[in-house]
Amino acid sequence: MARDSSDSTPIASRDALVGYMASGCKAPDQWRIGTEHEKVPFYVKDKQPVPYEGPRGVRALLDGMQGLLGWGPIMEDGHPIGLEDVTGGGAISLEPGGQFELSGAPLETLHQMCWETHAHMAQVREIAEPLGIGFLTLGMSPQWTRAETPVMPKRRYEIMRRYMPKVGGHGLDMMFRTATVQVNLDFASEADMVEKLRIGLALQPLATALFANSPFTDGRPNGFKSMRSQIWLDTDGDRTGMLAFAFEDGMGFERYVDWALDVPMYFVKRGDVYHDVAGASFRDLMAGRLDALPGERATLSDWANHLSTLFPEVRLKRYIEMRGADTGATPFLCALPAFWVGLLYDKTARDGAWQIVKTWTAEERQALRNDVPRLALDAEIAGRPLRAVAREVLALAHEGLARRAKRDVRDRNEEHFLAPLDEVVETGLVPADRILARYETEWKGSLAPLFDEFVY
């Protein structure tokens, strides 16, 4: 989320919260694709992290990007903390440890989406290379300790940084050291939302396995193929997880709203001030009973901001966010949206995906979620190898994209974006497997080659 919401429309009831979510419903011809991807910066010369300040810092990178793109700055306390394209809808933002994020514009085709990604990478390189900055294609910072990781000057992150250690063992690692790619998709109705949410939750561990790309921490192998995913298992149980309730009878916007209301808040923003209310109830804010802000009542911006601080494997706003994948090389950044668009934007593929997952129990889904960070495609679900499930699911995604029949100037449909995943399933080797094999053989236990080869 590039900029916290500032809609001061009062919220009078729970129905208004439900209505806010339902207002995201769109006719299928209005469905769009939005991608977000993060990348960890480093100094090319000495392989060290990039601080915010300084002539070659993250702030200088943002200033250079503003000059190149002409996007408007997002400011806090006199510091640029992001950029936004008010006409196209895209944005650049900073994660807590300096991870540089593109929040893409809502686009119609995967061709447009991948072009946007390639263009962004070229633009960032144009500014970053003279500053001596490179970017890793990994899902977690591989070398620096948390103490060595810079801190970005964003006030919501200050509040989260104080609160996270109270509710989990790895919340600060999540904030400062991980990097993800996600895709945001639309829904037509409440029923359509529920179907996509359930399929997305059930198959999110499969996406985690296919994109597993974070096998190093503190300069050595960490024992996982997706340490980023493992970290989320011990971040904050109130606001993370597989949302077992989404598979229960009666699931809809109201049920998600009730869950969201039960998740403690982080902050309330009034003007430019972030009030730390970590642990407080949104229900109390709605009723004007918040101890830290007596008499203050909730607005639509408070609700939008609160929704952005929930971190389940699939997140619902006025669209659906698929959140399970490590970031990776550019072809993988294009493959993740292709995977989910092929499955969820085509009714036949969606029906096929539901047939695969509908009998899985909550316990089986959670067991898969727990196993995948370590085992990736070697995990099992309901007695089946995950790699076998991957073959079936990937075939459905191919068929869904073929039926979409969105062609580029070379007369290709969108299926070719799935090529990296085809190779993963064919070989059984996820990105982390390939990196670990090279680390143990030709790299002779050194991470230095990562900073030369696994960069954008």
Write out pLDDT tens, residues 65-92.
999 999 999 999 999 999 999 889 999 9
As a whole-number percent, the residues of the chain with pLDDT over 90 amount to 97
In contact, 212 and 424? CB cutoff 8 Å: no
Containing 276, the helix (H) or strand (E) segment is: strand 273-276
pLDDT of residue 6: 67
Query: Is 435:454 a contact under the CB 8 Å cutoff?
Result: yes
CA 85 from centroid of its chain's CA atoms: 20
Instruction: Encode 227-257: b = buried (16+ Cβ within 10 Å), e = exposed.
Output: bbbbbbeebbeebbbbbeebbeeebbbbbbb
What's the distance, Cα to Cα, between the start and end of the chain in Å?
A: 22
CATH class of 14-453: alpha beta
Distance in angstroms (rounded) separating the CA atoms of residues 432 and 376: 9
What is the mean predicted confidence (pLDDT) over 180-206?
A: 98
Structure token pair of residue 353 = 């995906």
pLDDT band at 8 (very low <50, low <70, confident <90, very high): confident
> 7 pLDDT band (50/70/90 cuts)?
confident
Phi, psi for residue 96 in degrees, rounded to 5? -55, -35
Residue 4: name the closest of 274, 273, 260, 305 by CA: 305
Q: Which residues contact 160 (CB under 8 A, 6 or more apart)?
A: 96, 171, 175, 266, 278, 309
Per-residue confidence at 3, pLDDT binned at 50, 70, 90? low
pLDDT digit string, tens, across residues 21-61 = 999 999 999 999 999 999 999 999 999 999 999 999 999 99
- Looking at residues 398-403, what average pLDDT do you find? 98
pLDDT tens-place string over residues 330-345 = 999 999 999 999 999 9
Which residue stretches of 180-232 are H helix? 190-210, 227-232
Angstrom distances, CA of residue 207 to CA of 86, 90, 229, 320:
32, 24, 11, 15
> For the chain, what are the domain ranges?
14-453
According to the model, what pLDDT value does residue 4 have? 67
Q: How far is CA 356 from the centre of its chain?
A: 25
User: What is the model's pLDDT at position 1?
Assistant: 46
Burial class (CB in 10 A: 0-12, 13-18, 19+), 130: exposed
Per-residue pLDDT averaged across 265-269, rounded?
A: 96
Coil, helix or strand at residue 385:
strand
Q: Which two tokens stand for residue 419?
A: 């090529």
- Give the whole-angstrom CA distance, residue 452 versus residue 137: 11
Residue 311 CA to chain centroid, in angstroms? 9
